[in-house]
Amino acid sequence: MNINLTRKGKRIQLMTLLFVIFLLISLSIQSLNTASKTIEQDIYDFSRGSYDILLRPGDSRTDLEEELGLVEENYLGIGHGGITLEQWQNVLNRDDVEVAAPVAAIGLYTANEITYSLPEREDSVRYTVNYTTTDGVHTYPIGESYTAYSFKDPNQFSTYSTINSESLVNVFSGEYPSFKFPLTYHQVVAIDVEEENKLTGEDFSSLETYGPGLALFEEVPILGLENGNIPLKASIQIDTIDLEDDEVRELKRKYKIKDNSTFGSLSYRDKELNEQLIDEMAEQETVSTETYSLDFSDVITPFYDNYLYADDDYRLINYTENPLEDREIWGVIESGSQETYYDVEPVNYQLIGDKISVKQLGTDEQSGIPYYREIKERNNFVLDGAEVIEGEGFTFYHVGNFEVDDHDDLAASPLGIYGIQPTYLSEDRHTQIQPTAFPGSFITTPAHGLISIDWVERLKGDKPIDAIRVKIAGIQGYDQVASEKIKSMATEFEEQGFTVDIVAGASYQSLKIDVEGLGEVIQPWTTLGAADTILQSWDIVKIILVTFFILVSLIYMVFSFSHLIKTRRKEESLLTSFGWKKENIRKLRLKEWTGLLGIPFILAFLVLLVISLRTEEYVLFLNLIIIFTVTCLLMFLVSLFYKNNQNHPQKPLGNKTVTWQNAWYYRHLVSFSIVQISVMSLIIIFLPLVINLQEKRTVQTTLGGYVHGQMEGFYTVLLVFLFTVGILTLIETLISLWKQRSDEMILFHHIGWSNNQMYKFYLKEVALWSAISILFGAIMSICLYQFLFSQVVNTIIWVGVISLILFSFILVVSFIVLINMLRRTTKYWYKKVG
């Protein structure tokens, strides 16, 4: 005789669920292993930048780049070449290349040396001019200090006589009090106008114009950076002195200045005598003093070479922007300023543990300005007077400026020469650090001057190019196909001898660097790309989903076993009363449960066998055995619990409403449901928040943090099953609860309660404990989101709406179950009465 105490329908339901649970948990554990391993990020995880591949000469990576995977923001502004023009052309001419934009760092150059003029002064004055430069923290004197005198001399053919140092001869005059200012050196980079335009959208076509031919040498058009800094200030002191005509005549007699000659060129005739004269003039009594400060950084851009003057208020004015119309302007311009330039080496960063530091290599003897990298002064050509005696002379011709804006794509892409993110002190973010006028700063600025690639071989030799930024043709964004194409081309370029970087996923990072003489600074660096990089990657979505799926499944199993045991108690005691021995009852129980667990296990085993043979993932069997063992253990523990557990009388809740009292009284029956609803509410709020975060498939690439966001098919099944099990638990809980309270329902019906009153009465309880569960789940999901992603949930309304929808759904399901329960109970009563 085949006896089963568990109903057939219940057995089939339970076995089916167990089969699905065994299968899905085994597969989930396997996917959890995969999610937690270090993985390779792939190109298609990223949004496409302005170009795809960076080519550099072989062995280009610095030690720091190898170690940390980072380069300085303007890392292409310094370089010694290695790629020929022919190699670049070969890349450019490929059909599968849309853009091949070369970069060639030329060196640190100064603009054509120019003078600036102060307003004419008719009184007798002494000018004292000093210059300073700054790195943002320290200020250093720089360049030559000048002293000059201007006074009326009616015996001269020129209105004024001047006394000045040798370097101001032919520069300073009474009509145009002019001075030279110290040379400042700036990074110059060569680009191809057309390719750079394709890459950046900026117009550099003025680099291909011809100069006016005003210089003695060939003119090289150059664009200056609009917001490039000239770190230079002039301090001007103007003393009015009391100098009578007789005194002038006496000075002329003493220093043998002929009537038709001038003091100003005395230094050319007798330098010592001139110095003596200047010393004597220093003793002239000062009648009044004025001081002015002229800040060149406010007015001119790198490679500015037009007139420069101060207005009547001694404010420095850029002549290009404000030409004078009411008076003449005079100036001197030196075309041979590009005779000398500086070649600088990369900074030697020291990495000790996770600390990066940079040391001073020395200080300039005259100014005391520290330098942090090797500097080599080089000559393009050699001048003797105005004549070029070695090499070919050339001069820069300033054709305008280019702009890099903070929010411009130009600045955002890792293009290597346009980065304008500031460096600042770690302890004071308002103190920006900048290079001084003297070369050798640890900061590599963006390109302050751009010239055309047409000049590069002449200035740098036959392998002048430092990098080529390549954009692949024929792809719109990064998908699987594009990814394969990029990787294939990258391999090809590598075989040609280039250092190749796929720039997908490049991003800025701020690094703390300990700089000798300054302290700790924050400097912008950049990753070149995260594709093909091994990173720690945690798929948070998968982990959360799998963990809670396992939890929900286990809870369901415990709930089902508890329910089974409780319902069997009555039947087993009935069998005992029929004369069955305990041993036979135990055997029957064992037989049923072996079937309940064994059949799903065997079926799951067979399915996993097929999967394992196809995927060679034999660890699935181990997962199945583990979950089966855990299930058996759970069953044993539950049966032990109910064996030892006695029904203790419950204390009432005190002065609470009936709803509260009932909810409290039946809490043991609904506890499983409370947990399931909390989990469902956590998942249903958490998942959309995470998926929204990943909506555009942009991925954080800072080291250590990478987040997936995909919802693959398998996890959709998990999600559906999780909710199914949760709802099943709820339904079975409610059925079990209201079955137990069927007498109560009959009584209410008997005393005349309407259906609506009973719905209200029972649903209030459901509403109470389900609302608490949902609230708990919502708070947990918000905390989890904040903890895992450091994101503040700024859509509380959205969370509230989802919670409300879930709550409504639970009430609807409960209502349906209640209707059926009431109908059955009251109908049965009618039948009973009838």
Note the residues at the interface with another protein (CB under 8 A).
113, 157-158, 169-170, 173, 212-216, 261-262, 264-266, 268-269, 307, 323-336, 383-387
Minimum CB distance to another protein smaller for 277 or for 515:
277
Tell the smallest beta-carbon distance from residue 333 to another protein (Å).
5
Write the CB contacts of 240 (distance below 8 Å, at least 6 apart in sequence): 123, 124, 125, 286, 287, 288, 289
Minimum CB distance to another protein smaller for 114 or for 531:
114
Tell the smallest beta-carbon distance from residue 290 to another protein (Å).
27
Minimum CB distance to another protein smaller for 307 or for 559:
307
Q: Tokens for 760? A: 């209200």
Minimum CB distance to another protein smaller for 262 or for 659:
262
Write the CB contacts of 244 (distance below 8 Å, at least 6 apart in sequence): none
Contact in structure between 100 and 473 (CB atoms under 8 Å): no
Tell the smallest beta-carbon distance from residue 226 to another protein (Å).
24
Contact in structure between 105 and 187 (CB atoms under 8 Å): yes
Enumerate long-range contacts of 140-147, CB under 8 Å, 24 or more apart.
Answer: 140/367, 140/368, 140/369, 140/436, 140/438, 141/367, 142/182, 142/232, 142/366, 142/367, 142/369, 142/436, 142/437, 142/438, 143/181, 143/182, 143/183, 144/180, 144/182, 146/172, 146/179, 147/278, 147/282
For residue 133, the cross-strand partners are 140
Helix (H) or strand (E) holding 399: strand 394-402
Distance between first and last Cα of the chain: 36
User: CA angle, corner 411, sides to 407 and 413, nearest 5?
Assistant: 115
598 residue type, one letter? G
Tell the smallest beta-carbon distance from residue 388 to another protein (Å).
10
Q: What is the dihedral of CA 63, 65, 70, 73, to 10 degrees?
A: 80
Tell the smallest beta-carbon distance from residue 334 to another protein (Å).
4
Whole-angstrom Cα distance, residue 560 to residue 732?
9
Phi, psi of 502, rounded to the nearest 5 degrees: -90, 120
Minimum CB distance to another protein smaller for 170 or for 293:
170
Minimum CB distance to another protein smaller for 331 or for 688:
331
* Burial class of residue 331 in the structure, from the number of CB atoms within 10 Å of its CB (0-12 exposed, 13-18 middle, 19+ buried): middle
Tell the smallest beta-carbon distance from residue 389 to another protein (Å).
11
Tell the smallest beta-carbon distance from residue 167 to another protein (Å).
10
Minimum CB distance to another protein smaller for 393 or for 440:
393
Minimum CB distance to another protein smaller for 109 or for 204:
109
Tell the smallest beta-carbon distance from residue 269 to another protein (Å).
4
Minimum CB distance to another protein smaller for 170 or for 710:
170
Minimum CB distance to another protein smaller for 332 or for 613:
332
Q: Tokens for 750? A: 């008997």
Tell the smallest beta-carbon distance from residue 695 to another protein (Å).
59
Write the CB contacts of 402 (distance below 8 Å, at least 6 apart in sequence): 202, 204, 223, 224, 225, 226, 450
Minimum CB distance to another protein smaller for 135 or for 219:
219
Contact in structure between 516 and 76 (CB atoms under 8 Å): no
Tell the smallest beta-carbon distance from residue 696 to another protein (Å).
55
Minimum CB distance to another protein smaller for 33 or for 322:
322
Cβ-based neighbour number of residue 324 at 10 Å: 12
Tell the smallest beta-carbon distance from residue 367 to another protein (Å).
24
Cβ-based neighbour number of residue 709 at 10 Å: 18
Tell the smallest beta-carbon distance from residue 386 to another protein (Å).
4
Contact in structure between 449 and 191 (CB atoms under 8 Å): no
